[in-house]
Amino acid sequence: MNKHFKKFLWLTPILLFCLYWLGIYLSLKNPMEEIVYSENCGVLRNLMVKPYIQTIGSDRFWDKTEGFKTIAYSKNIVSEKEYLSVTLNSDTPDWFYMYEYDLDNNATIYSNFKYDSSKKVFYQTDLYLTIDETSYEDKQLLDQLATYSKDRTWLKKQSKKVAEQYILGTWFKNGSSRYSLKNLGDMKIEYNKLIEE
């Protein structure tokens, strides 16, 4: 009996650690919570998931005491005409993603995404086209886009590619496969009303 009790005492810290780890892991209810946890939360995160910055191909370091930092995605993830970055913030889980697509030297599509942790929604906040420092939104954006042989369907495909392939897809591939596009946990994705009409 004494021998079994000593074994139990020896295993107790390991069991408690495993239960604690499992509790944290199960508390992450969607991929964005995993992403934020992978950068914001202590030593245990490395047991569950890879640091987020590594999954997007960056060799930069983020010191949480800086508050926030913008880090670009690797060109191995996005094409030469594209730029995608994430603004990490240690004060909030509501991170911000900025996307640019160069149509030509003077024209660029801008599309931004944000995670709202209170509503559990990952949504497209802005969608506009800038030509020679003039910005176009809504119907004007579509009219200008037509001069580049692109339309609302192209815009929708591009927006979905950014959210579902570049941002979330990269996480599912390089970070954690616990969630997927078919299983986003308690999170929803919402796109700009212009491409949903």
Burial 114-150 (b: 16+ CB within 10 A, else e): bbbeeebbbbbeebbbbeeeeebeeeebbebbeeeeb
Indicate whether 45 pLDDT > 90. no
Number of domains in the chain: 1
Indicate whether 46 pLDDT > 70. no
Q: What is the mean pLDDT of the chain?
A: 85
pTM of the predicted model, to two decimals?
A: 0.84
pLDDT value for 171? 94
Minimum mean pLDDT range among 3-7, 54-58, 130-134, 141-145: 3-7
Q: Which domain holds residue 183?
A: 2-196
Minimum mean pLDDT range among 9-23, 39-53, 114-128: 9-23
Half-sphere exposure of 110 (CA within 13 A, CB side): 14
**Residue 113: which pLDDT band, with cuts at 50, 70 and 90?**
very high
Residue 148 phi, psi dihedral angles, 5° rounding: -105, 15
What separation in angstroms does the CA of 146 have from each of 110, 151, 155, 167? 16, 6, 11, 27
CA 79 to chain centre: 18
Give percent of the chain above pLDDT 90.
58
Which pLDDT tens digit goes with each residue over 139-192? 999 999 999 999 999 999 999 999 999 999 999 999 888 899 999 999 999 999
**Residue 48: which pLDDT band, with cuts at 50, 70 and 90?**
low
